[in-house]
Structure formats: C-alpha cells, structure tokens
Amino acid sequence: MNVYDFTVKTRNGEEKSLSDYKGKVLLIVNTATGCGFTPQYEALEELYKEFGPQGFEILDFPCNQFGNQAPGNDEEIHTFCTGRFGITFPQFAKVDVNGENAIPLFQWLTENTKFDGFGKSPMAFILSGVVKKTDKDYKNNGKIKWNFTKFLIDREGEIVARFEPTDMKKLKQAIQASL
C-alpha cells in the first residue's frame, strides 16, 4: 500500500484519487486557520513556488481537531488562506486526522510513522504540555499531535519523513533530497 491507493474529497466535495499525483513529491499537511502555526502557510507557499516546477505538490487538509482552530467551512477556510497567505497549492475538504472518524489517508500516515518529539524550542515545550493534557501517552503513539504536522511522500508514493509543527528547518532539505 502507498499514498496512491487513497481517494480524498476536494473542498468542493468531489472525490480525488491521489494516484493523480503519481511521480510527484508530496507534502501532506493537516492545517488550521486560527493556530499559532498558521503563519506556516506563508513558508509552505514559498516552498511550493520554489519546488513546484520540479514536481512538488503540497496537499492541504484543514482539521478542526486541535483546539477548534479551524472552525469555518471549506470555502471560508480557502478564502482565508488565499486572501491572507496567497496559497496556490491544493486545499482539500476539512477532515479528521485522528480517532474513529479519521480519513483512511491519515490513518495510514499515522500507522506508518512515529512521533519523534517536538524538539527543544520554547514552543515545543508549550506544545508538549498542551498535548499531554489530552493524550498522556503522546510520546509513544503515531497519532497526530497538533496542526501543521507534515508528511513527505516520495515519487513512488512512499512515506519519507514526518515533521512535527515545530520542525520546519529540516523540511526544505528533505524536499530537495526527494526531488
């Protein structure tokens, strides 16, 4: 099984096979519009502009499971992201990424990656405290911990790496290596 085996819903409610992205390097991200990490949209758009011509795609999945930080409908979220951050990469329908209502794509991503920590920044310390309140065993499971968790997928549809929201530094290098 790889990423191409999944179908997801576009923000317009249509089914989209991820096999349409065969041969491309993908970054799959769960996002939110009202999060402290929301400004990462700007950095993501920069990566998309830089690497898109080389076969790189960002697939944005808004999610309201972490602090209710994506409360709008799909159109409101899209309008916010394009207006505020000028995003041009594909944005899909709002989804659940954890729990019984998680879409199969994110079930697969979380079952096939592990959480390696938030790092050592002040934000990492804060986020660890917040996450621990809802998931006492958060360090030992693959569940998504917060908004802006990223999964890098190679041109063959296989998972290359998982990046927590506090880890943007290594992302660009990993994308370049995958291209």
CA 86 to chain centre: 18
Q: Where are the alpha helices (DSSP H) in 8-117?
A: 40-51, 74-85, 104-111
Q: What's the token pair of residue 136?
A: 């006492």
The catalytically annotated residue of 25, 27, 35, 109 is: 35
Residue pair 15/139 in contact (Cβ under 8 Å)? The answer is no
Query: Is 81 known to be catalytic?
Result: no
Strand partners, 29: 60, 150
Q: What's the token pair of residue 144?
A: 């998504």
Secondary element (H or E) of residue 122: helix 122-134
Please identify every residue annotated as catalytic.
Answer: 35
